[in-house]
Structure 1
């Protein structure tokens, strides 16, 4: 059987080779070296005069492109698309420039003309970055860098590395990767004397180190970038302005008010020379930050309101939007306008979620568009392939029969092997089934052991409670007895958590409604010795917390309920205590504790906070990364916002 297979393969190869020899086409005539040199010189002069005389460049490119088409100079035709794209990019019509660059990439890859391919990828990536097509921009930068590295185009490597670092600084937020990329680019730039690339390279360094909070290094690179831009033969005001803005942002992080003021004064003299809305927005945000440091909160809010209205119809960069909202929040809080600050904070959280959703939706649309473009490209290639293979259609049936016979022969040879593989798969499935049963038994055993641990912890805590009770009976000092009783209540709140975890089905999440109700009943039985009519209300439905969050919360509630039962209803026969635990956002919760007791007078509020119970409340609140507020009106109310685990 194996010999027959080899014979079939040899016959197939012989027939393909014979057909190729009979129907081989003559290669096209190659353009002369003199003509191609002239065309390349035209393109070179056109590129050099892009900034000075755009009309002259466009005429030279059209002339070279037409000549390339006339003499069938494939690289010249591909270069025509590339240089025409550069012209439209210089004019600012990026959508047209992108189409020319995409066609240039297709021809460069097809003809393996690699000189301008890395730079074409770079320009496409920059255009997609400006259009928020981040996924495709990253692909273009990586493809360009790959081509440049494989073919030794060092200048292209440096330029593409700078763009990749800019992508990490703006989009991926992987600032360490940005620094690593820039280090390789800096080495190449210094070794090969690419001085013009050092300014943008240092600027990206400054941005990355500023985001990494290494402000001293970030400022040093900003100074290097400014020096590089100032010593250039043709200083670019836009690059100088970008560097000053990055330096100003770092100074705002370090609260260097004096240096920030000097930078803003420099920027003010240059801002009118550059028409860039993004740089203008960053400049106004720095002005607002300076006013905040000067405690001029009204003007901070005024600048923020103007920026808000200006950016309402646009899609601002995510960092600028966050900075604008945070400045407004800090100004409102500084002015004591807590209500407006809270409203703005809620809107900020909602808008932030909307921005993240829009970002991921945009990425999904972008990937979908890329898929459609790739599919369309494949369809075009298939049509071209069918047109190119018209001469071989008469042999299609013969080749198909040969291929079919070959496939049948291979199937016969591997039929037995397939049966063996099926048998092996059946054995493997049986083995996996046995392993699954073993794992299920082990899981049940582990769950049983965990329940036993919770049970033993609960018993140990009850023993400690009993020891404290026995110890308190041996002393007549009421203060010591009270301390023992408070300690016993705290221990009981922890023991109750382990009891609930042991009793309920879930071992990782605690039902807060049942827990708080039982904790309240216990504390009422301990501290309501005067048999007052105290009503206890709990609202914590659908709230489940992990044990690391539930224990501090239980201790806080123990202290608050103990304090209310002991002091809130003095000289009164009845009272009400309300406890509410609810969701306040993703991984965030809110505890509201209030009673209709006498409250804490403002004159004694500081003294109260010096007690052990209130120090414990504040310490546990910080442990939960929360904040606590006390208000007294119709009710004496504590409001605690804290974080829990996912």
Structure 2
């Protein structure tokens, strides 16, 4: 009977292959080559090893052929081949963006995963991992990753991408850097490109586009080196993968420029990103293409290229993410507002309102539950490790107790008088238990006191920040009632300095660690605050901040913040005339052990020849000198060929 079934199966395969030879022409046609492959396992390997399988035939053509083979294998009862064709079917639905159908098929296969070959099971688990990520079922995604770890397919469960999907982009970036950076070799150019792209994208999502562009530019450099490296032989699959990453990187750079309001600079990056992805991801759904197209529409709207913007908004995309639907409706409403079609504008605004009303509560509730699930999974894993360690400790203690009992028995047999010594040991043991309880109680009291102290400190910093904001508001009121230009400027400078100190206290009460301030985020916030005062928006001035990983205590952070406030304010006021382009500010802060170094440069007009005389009379320079003295250092000022440089060492 089995021989007869096998005969029918291979006969039908020959018929299908003959049909393929008639339907498709060309030696490079992937679907034709797929049909000409005889063994189902070889077909399976060919399918998943072909990154360009949709070049000549659409995903629907592939689906029809795979369904035909699936029907044949089910009729003849070949369960192994059936599972392989079903897995191909699930992958095609994923490529088409139909994630619900893909995961439904994958779940059926998952029930029989124990009977699969290791290679097939690995492909299934990877597909389920990616599909659950697209559907935002993070608890199920974690279960799949745990199984991959148990099977030895991965060493650790990574949570950073899940944190990012839940909106915790800064935590995602920190976890990603900690887990991934140490695993990348210096000559792994693709790995370095992917690493800097992910770090840059997390910064972009966390609303730090200037810093993000720095990392994304590094990523673009590494991927170009990877693609142009002729010394290493790369497969076609690796080349396509590298080109797709290049397209993703260019799209992310373009989206950063849109965030910065530099729309002309953004357009070529976004267009190149879309073209590269489309060229190398033929026939497959890509959320990057959707997001880049919406960013292009936004850029053209801002540049008043209304027809071009409308073309991008009218593209027939399958919007899988709610945020993309909301953004498209918002941009369409903006387009109709610009073209004075207020009826359509109102229509798309109402669509967003209805959509937001239907998802706001449910989505926030679901995300919170998923976040709790993620944390619970981490706690559960940690608890299990602790339990295992405790079991080992208990086994060791049990062994020690047994050895001790044996020694006591020997002592009792040989010398009965050792009973007194044993009694003394028991007494000491009981006393030690009592002491341990007292220590535990005192420790509990101390821990409660520390928690209370932290709460009080946070409340103090919060109130100080509120008081400083009130002072800033009073200065603003005074400014409105003052006519003297010199007095207004002095009040504005004072308000800026008050804001710099308030920002310190805000960062402190927002931190878990009340003793130090993370300077990269503080400097970014301070620079944004100064930019908003001078209304320059970063259009002509490129600001680079290099202070990643530096932390300072409040005694050094406050004078440092006031110094930086003076320097940035002076640059905006004096260094860059209105007609000057390509203005640059570079802020560098490093700390190595007990020693620190600060440097601030700009390429503006520089200091005048009488800067020494002005320094003695300028309140800003005198204030900076006193603040640097508080840091036990001396302020150094150098006129450079372009602009000016301030620097000092500190402890």
Pairwise TM-score range, normalised by the shorter structure: 0.3 to 0.5
Relative to the length of structure 2, the TM-score reads 0.40
RCO comparison, higher one (Cα < 8 Å, 6+): 2
* Rg comparison, structure with higher value: 1
